């Protein structure tokens, strides 16, 4: 805080995540993984990193907390206090169920808008969810794909290494046992291999040889980090971008790919801004963003599932 890297809001969010932990050694390890990111992350992003570190470092406690949380699933209704005839229905459910619900209505809304539906995207989503729950109208089903990322040891050998659930512009760390349960309980499951660097754990390839942002390359980009790569932005990825523009010789390749939200992608092309994707020898990718004042800002994708020890130095180097 004295250096200006952390605000009061950052500290408040970190306290929310770590409250109740009385293990000083565990707290020190969490701090070791959080502080290298402090200067470039929003309060919510930093809290997410701390939460993920807690789940990786304390898998037993995470499993107990996750099981207890599932008993608290609920649906709540909140009428709009402005009295304009609106209200909110909130479902508090296991993350995989909540993600499927949101992804399904989001995909249906995108299809409807592409077909010329005059309603707003949010209105289509609300109407579709209401129709499907109440049976007021028959809605066409929409295929939904939810990405569950885990190591082969977690899937096959009972390793406690947590998994990562990706969907709707965010990612959530899941306890290993819950991740294995989702695979066992699925009606159908497909396995796509993700190749990571043996030293840093950085995602370097998928089971694909396509190199266009609209294909598997874009898929890999979002799997690496579904959140905008611009420092201090936590909006979901909307654009697969060339940090070095094609007009300046940039290639459509993994070494020149960044996932950005719409606003940051447009801002990056304004006069005075410059972006470069730096790929280190260990596969770690760092977005170097230069603003009109010539200051450099760095960001890197969060770590995928895998051993923490091999990534500690990579995190410090990237910071």
| E strands present in 220-311 | 239-241, 258-260, 274-279, 285-290, 296-300
pLDDT in tens, 201-248: 666 665 544 434 666 777 777 777 788 888 888 888 888 888 888 788
Residues 6+ apart with CB under 8 A from 161: 56, 59, 150, 151, 153, 154, 176, 305, 306, 307
Q: Which pLDDT band holds residue 119 (cuts at 50, 70, 90)?
A: very high
**pLDDT of the residue at 286:** 87
Kind of pairing, strands 258-260 and 274-279?
unpaired
Kind of pairing, strands 74-79 and 285-290?
unpaired
pLDDT in tens, 132-191: 887 765 544 445 566 788 888 888 888 888 888 775 555 677 788 888 887 887 777 777
**pLDDT of the residue at 162:** 84
Is residue 285 pLDDT above 70, yes or no?
yes
Residue spans of the domains in the chain: they are 1-57
User: How far is residue 256's CA from residue 262's CA, in Å, rounded to a whole number?
Assistant: 18
Over residues 105-126, the mean pLDDT reads: 90
User: How far is residue 240's CA from residue 112's CA, in Å, rounded to a whole number?
Assistant: 23
Over residues 122-133, the mean pLDDT reads: 88
Is residue 92 pLDDT above 70, yes or no?
yes
Q: Which pLDDT band holds residue 118 (cuts at 50, 70, 90)?
A: very high
Kind of pairing, strands 170-174 and 147-149?
unpaired
Is residue 293 pLDDT above 80, yes or no?
yes
Tokens of 100: 């499927």
**pLDDT of the residue at 170:** 59
Full-model pTM: 0.44
Over residues 86-94, the mean pLDDT reads: 86
Coil, strand or helix at 67? helix
Q: Which pLDDT band holds residue 37 (cuts at 50, 70, 90)?
A: confident
Is residue 10 pLDDT above 60, yes or no?
yes
User: How far is residue 256's CA from residue 3's CA, in Å, rounded to a whole number?
Assistant: 33
User: How far is residue 7's CA from residue 40's CA, in Å, rounded to a whole number?
Assistant: 12
Phi, psi of 135, deg, nearest 5: 75, 20
Q: Which pLDDT band holds residue 292 (cuts at 50, 70, 90)?
A: very high
**pLDDT of the residue at 190:** 74
């Amino acid at each position: 805080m004295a250096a200006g890297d952390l605000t009061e809001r950052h500290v408040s969010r970190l306290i929310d995540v770590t409250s109740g932990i009385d293990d000083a050694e565990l707290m020190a390890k969490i701090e070791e993984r959080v502080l290298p990111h402090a200067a470039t992350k929003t309060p919510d992003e930093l809290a997410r990193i701390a939460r993920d570190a807690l789940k990786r470092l304390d898998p037993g406690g995470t499993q107990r907390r996750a099981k207890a949380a599932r008993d608290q699933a609920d649906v709540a209704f909140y009428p709009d206090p402005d009295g304009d005839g609106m209200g909110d229905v909130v479902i508090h459910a296991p993350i995989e169920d909540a993600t499927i619900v949101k992804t399904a209505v989001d995909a249906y809304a995108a299809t409807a808008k592409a077909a010329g539906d005059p309603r707003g995207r949010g209105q289509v989503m609300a109407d579709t969810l209401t129709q499907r729950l109440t049976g007021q109208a028959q809605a066409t089903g929409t295929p939904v794909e939810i990405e569950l990322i885990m190591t082969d040891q977690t899937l096959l050998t009972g390793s406690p290494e947590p998994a990562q659930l990706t969907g709707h512009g965010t990612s959530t760390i899941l306890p290993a046992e819950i991740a294995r349960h989702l695979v066992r309980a699925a009606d159908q499951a497909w396995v796509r291999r993700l190749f990571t660097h043996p030293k840093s754990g950085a995602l370097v390839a998928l089971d694909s040889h396509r190199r266009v942002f609209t294909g598997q390359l874009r898929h890999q980009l979002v799997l690496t980090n579904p959140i905008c790569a611009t420092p201090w932005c936590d909006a979901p990825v909307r654009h697969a971008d060339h940090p070095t523009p094609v007009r300046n010789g940039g290639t459509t390749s993994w070494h020149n790919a960044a996932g950005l939200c719409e606003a940051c992608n447009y801002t990056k092309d304004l006069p005075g801004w410059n972006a470069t994707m730096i790929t280190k020898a260990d596969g770690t990718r760092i977005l170097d963003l230069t603003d009109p004042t010539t200051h450099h800002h760095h960001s890197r994708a969060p770590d995928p599932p895998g051993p923490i020890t091999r990534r500690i130095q990579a995190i410090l180097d990237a910071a």
